[in-house]
Amino acid sequence: MNTQQIIGIDLGGTQVRAGLVEGQRITHLVSGLIPAGGNEQEVLEALYLQVDALMQPTTRAIGIGVPSVVDVEEGIVYDVQNIPSWKEVHLRSMMEERYHIPVYVNNDANCFALGEKYFGQGRGVHSMVGLTIGTGLGSGIIIHDKLYEGINCGAGEFGEVAYLDHNYEYFASGQFFRNCYDTTGEKVFGQAVAGDKEALAIFESFGIHLGNAVKMILYAYDPELIILGGSISQSYELFQESMWRSIRRFTYQKSLERFRLVVSELESCGVLGAAALYYDKQH
């Protein structure tokens, strides 16, 4: 990876963050609000505003991470979370027509994995999974140094796999606290940090479910490394013991000797990961 200038864009339901990435760092970072209730063009204009602020004559490409289903080949995004007007947006063609450089579009969980692969704790790792634990349970899969997307960009939807009487996302994401205890992860976190025994027990239960999800991923892909990201991962110390207790029940004990699981420490991973879409396509 050299010092080519790539613009990385992390598009969320309420905010867009964009950065000019050169080599291993972001040299300029901008952000702005997204008119989530606006029409398709209004949302696009909010996106263009941030890109215009970063665009240089030497910019090589643009990468965009979006919380949606993506037709990677055509650069079309479908049913973007929290942006109702974005049902089917031909984002790549619109961006390329405006900026006249290559544009790469992908799911935000895939961008998280690529961000860690090129800029974070995944550097030097050939096969890994980036697992985002927030409102949902998302993931990006790296196999032999390349992002594995599946034919419909649907690879890594581990949260949808059946588990107990629902699926893994029901029990191993932020939804767990609402679904099982009618509360929020943020509230339980505050109580647990204060030493509340019931809140600590809730996180222990969460860890068991997440550990089972990790085992399922190990059976499916046998990665060298899993990197946890997302808001719930910041509570790692509260659930790590029960999670690992569950993971250690993995059938193939020898495999665990080479397996690592860490929590992301990468700032602006969404922006960096979006920029890394360019690097991934150069292999």
pLDDT of amino acid 247: 97
Among 121, 141, 122, which Cα is nearest to 131's? 141
Say which residues have a Cβ less than 8 Å from residue 156's Cβ, sequence separation at least 6: 109, 110, 129, 138, 139, 140, 141, 148, 150
Among 114, 148, 150, which Cα is nearest to 229's? 114
At 224, list the tokens: 């060298």
At 20, list the tokens: 């000019």
Task: Please report, for the chain, how many H helices and E strands are present, in that order.
Answer: 10, 15
pLDDT of amino acid 115: 96
This prediction has a pTM of 0.93
How crowded is the C-beta side of 129, counted as CA atoms within 13 Å?
Answer: 25
pLDDT of amino acid 1: 56
pLDDT of amino acid 24: 85
Q: What residues in the chain have per-residue pLDDT under 50?
A: none
* Domains of the chain with bracketed CATH: 5-111+268-282 (3.30.420.40), 124-263 (3.30.420.40)
Note the pLDDT tens digit of each residue in 129-172.
999 999 899 999 999 999 999 888 889 999 999 999 999 999 99
pLDDT of amino acid 2: 61
Measure the CA–CA gap between 132 and 128, rounded to whole angstroms: 13
Note the pLDDT tens digit of each residue in 8-22.
999 987 899 999 999
Q: Tell me the H-state helices in the chain.
A: 40-54, 91-99, 108-119, 168-171, 175-181, 185-193, 197-221, 236-247, 253-256, 269-281
